[in-house]
């Protein structure tokens, strides 16, 4: 087998500054949709972006982020694979389904709990809605209600069977890791500021993981070297960088891309019933036309 060139020093135009970044020559990238609905053209853009970022020598993997057992459905998962194949995408390794790996996430979670870096959160949905509704700039942030509980109170409530998730104690975690940064092909070298997002949930009440923990674990496990995803997840990367440092995981490069917008300048979203790939296909739109509408027109043959 041909040896993979380890890395290539490339000059990349960045939004922040022109930076020299070390990027694998033939990177492993991934597309990681959640099967909570059918794919729309915004997803097609992300998937094609991941494949283009892998380039002809790299590898794009597919991961189904299906930890939410109430919202994810096997028929959506099947449809996602069919839509991607119709679009012309392939992935050389078996699809990783997060719902099959709860044991791994639990082990990672227990490492953080054991080091005093996570605390149980007993807040109910309505408590959270009230606590996080206070007007302030930016996204709502958890105000640390359960961080204030004493160890005895926590133990009593757990022993009493009170439902609880787990939150990362971000300040305590940062005190261990010290300042962190990460590299983004569009934004340049970014200082990690996970405190801005508050103590995020790393395990939900019903499962031993959250998006943040599972995505960080899996990107490392799948040896993803270049994480491509939409700008809407940019803030999450600050948390992921912290989790990587805490769990001693390799650090990829990121490329957050701008979101594809509809004719009114709004992002495509499942909740707004964006037209699905399946519906467009049924309406007779070809895969080539769809790729072009998603921003990746086929290259004319040389
Ligand atoms: N599963 C996430 C989503 O569908 C994407 C996760 C990621 O790319 O990091 O929005």
* Predicted confidence (pLDDT) per residue in 68-121, tens digit: 999 999 999 999 999 999 999 999 999 999 999 999 999 999 999 999 999 999
Provide the 10 A C-beta neighbour count for residue 233.
Answer: 15
- Per-residue pLDDT tens digits for 181-227: 999 999 999 999 999 999 999 999 999 999 999 999 999 999 999 99
pLDDT band at 138 (very low <50, low <70, confident <90, very high): low
* Residue minimizing CA distance to atom 6 of ligand 1: 32
* CA of residue 32 to ligand 1 center, whole Å: 5
**Could you tell me the CA-to-CA distances from 125 to 121, 139, 149, 302 in Å, in that order?**
11, 17, 18, 57
Average pLDDT over residues 54-79: 96
Ligand 1 centroid – CA 279 distance (Å): 22
Q: What is the mean pLDDT of residues 228-252?
A: 97
Start-to-end CA span in the chain (Å): 28
Asked if residue 239 has pLDDT above 50, the reply is yes
Judged by average pLDDT, the poorest of 30-34, 83-87, 102-106, 133-137 is 133-137
- 16 C-alpha to center of ligand 1: Å? 24
Please report the pLDDT score of residue 130 as a whole number: 86
Give 129 or 12, the one with higher predicted confidence. 129
Nearest-angstrom CA–CA distance, 180 and 194: 10
* 89: three-class secondary structure by DSSP: coil
C-beta of residue 119 within 8 angstroms of C-beta of residue 166: yes
- Residue 8 above 80 pLDDT? no
pLDDT band at 264 (very low <50, low <70, confident <90, very high): confident
pLDDT of residue 22: 64
Give yes or no for residue 272 having a pLDDT over 80: no
Which of 32, 61, 213, 237 most suits a substitution to test ligand 1, by most atoms within 8 Å of the C-beta?
A: 32
Q: Where is 183: in which H helix or E strand?
A: strand 181-184
Give the model's pLDDT for residue 270. Answer: 74
Q: How confident is the model at residue 265 (pLDDT cuts 50, 70, 90)?
A: confident
Of residues 1 and 80, the one with the higher pLDDT is 80
Q: Which residues pair with 230 in a beta bridge?
A: 257
pLDDT reported for residue 233 = 97
Q: Which residue has the tokens 């070390």?
A: 22
Cα separation, 170 vs 289, in Å, equals: 45
Q: How far apart are CA 124 and CA 271, in angstroms?
A: 24
| Closest ligand 1 atom number to CA of residue 31 | 8
Residues flanking ligand 1, CB < 6 Å: 32-34, 65, 215, 229, 233
Which atom of ligand 1 approaches the CA of 230 most closely? Answer: 8
């Amino acid at each position: 087998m041909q040896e993979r060139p380890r890395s290539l020093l490339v000059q990349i135009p960045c939004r922040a500054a022109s930076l020299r970044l070390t990027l694998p020559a033939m990177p492993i990238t991934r597309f990681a949709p959640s099967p909570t609905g059918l794919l729309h053209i915004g997803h097609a853009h992300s998937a094609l972006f991941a494949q283009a970022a892998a380039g002809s020598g790299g590898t794009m993997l597919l991961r189904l982020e299906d930890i939410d057992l109430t919202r994810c459905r096997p028929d959506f998962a099947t449809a996602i694979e069919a839509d991607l194949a119709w679009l012309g995408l392939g992935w050389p390794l078996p699809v990783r389904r997060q719902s099959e790996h709860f044991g791994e996430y639990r082990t990672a979670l227990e490492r953080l709990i054991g080091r005093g870096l996570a605390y149980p959160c007993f807040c109910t949905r309505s408590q959270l809605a009230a606590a996080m509704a206070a007007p302030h700039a930016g996204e709502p942030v958890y105000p640390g209600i359960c961080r204030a509980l004493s160890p005895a109170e926590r133990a009593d409530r757990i022993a009493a069977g009170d439902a609880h998730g787990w939150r990362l104690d971000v300040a305590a975690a940062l005190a261990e890791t010290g300042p962190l940064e990460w590299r983004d092909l569009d934004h340049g070298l970014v200082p990690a500021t996970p405190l801005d997002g508050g103590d995020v949930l790393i395990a939900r009440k019903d499962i031993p993981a959250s998006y943040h923990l599972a995505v960080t674990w899996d990107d490392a496990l799948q040896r993803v070297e270049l994480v491509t995803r939409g700008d809407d997840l940019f803030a999450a990367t600050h948390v992921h960088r912290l989790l990587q440092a805490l769990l001693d995981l390799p650090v990829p490069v990121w490329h957050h891309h701008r979101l594809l917008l509809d004719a009114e300048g709004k992002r495509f979203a499942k909740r707004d019933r964006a037209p699905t790939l399946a519906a467009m296909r049924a309406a007779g739109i070809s895969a080539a036309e769809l790729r072009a509408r998603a921003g990746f027109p086929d290259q004319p043959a040389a």
